[in-house]
Amino acid sequence: MRFDRLIASLGLALCLGAVAGSAVAAKLQGDPAKAAPIVDEKCAGCHGPDGNSPAPNFPSLAGQNANYLLKEMQAYKSQRRSNDMMTPPLEGLTDQDLANIALFFAKQKPTPGTVGNPDLLKLGAKLYLQGNPASGVPACDICHGGDGHGRSYFPRVAAQGVDYSIDQFNQYAHDVRKSGKKIMRSVAKRLTEAEVKAIAEYMASLAP
């Protein structure tokens, strides 16, 4: 087997293993209504009152998978995931508060994303659905689904802001974002700048 094919196979195996490891996720228990005042006070300014962010560099959380949201908020609170704007608002919130917030955003309706460069969609679709075996990049849909809606601990990427997605790829590539699946750091390091932009545009184009 050629080396590049071997690398691609290893990447695929890692991703499939991650999928299997997250297949059984406990259903969150909580009350989204109790999160509403917390969202208004701590979240709405950046992520929008309904989770549809008004700014392209802040992620939209509407319709996001609740288990993923809870895991990431816990990572911010414990500073395993670093962001000066995220950690302070979570201080003082209980695990139940975080579960309520996750459920609140998960039940909101996401709005369509904004494509900035339609010319990149063809390449983005190819990378997202087929990967790039030559550089050992597995297809994104293995973990995030062909529709981009993710599953369990894998985030919904459909209709996500292009600027935010590019920033997260760069954080993974430069080991700034160390929480989450190791496969993402491996993938991000193998993508070119042009490929990152193309994937981000394609994810933004996916129906919410």
Average pLDDT over residues 113-142: 98
pLDDT tens digits for 75-111?
999 999 989 999 999 999 999 999 999 999 999 999 9
pLDDT the model gives residue 171: 96
Helix locations, the chain, DSSP H: 3-21, 32-38, 44-47, 66-77, 87-90, 95-106, 121-130, 141-144, 162-173, 182-190, 193-205
Percent of the chain surpassing pLDDT 70 = 88
- Would you say 33 and 105 are in contact if contact means Cβ atoms under 8 Å apart? no
- Quick check: 196 pLDDT over 50? yes
Percent of the chain surpassing pLDDT 90 = 83
- Quick check: 133 pLDDT over 80? yes
Quickly state the pLDDT bin for 2 (edges 50, 70, 90): very low
For residue 152, give the nearest of 140, 143, 141 by alpha carbon. 143
pLDDT tens digits for 139-195?
999 999 999 999 989 999 999 999 999 999 999 999 999 887 799 999 999 999 999
The whole-angstrom separation of Cα 42 and Cα 181 is 27
- Quick check: 19 pLDDT over 70? no
pLDDT the model gives residue 181: 79
Six-digit token pair at 114?
């904004």
Query: Residue 186 contacts by C-beta under 8 Å, 6 or more apart in sequence?
Result: 11, 14, 136
- Quick check: 6 pLDDT over 80? no
The pLDDT mean for the chain works out to 90
pLDDT the model gives residue 14: 52
Neighbours of 2 (CB within 10 A): 9
| Domains of the chain, start order | 3-20+117-205 (1.10.760.10), 32-106 (1.10.760.10)
pLDDT the model gives residue 7: 44
- Quick check: 16 pLDDT over 90? no
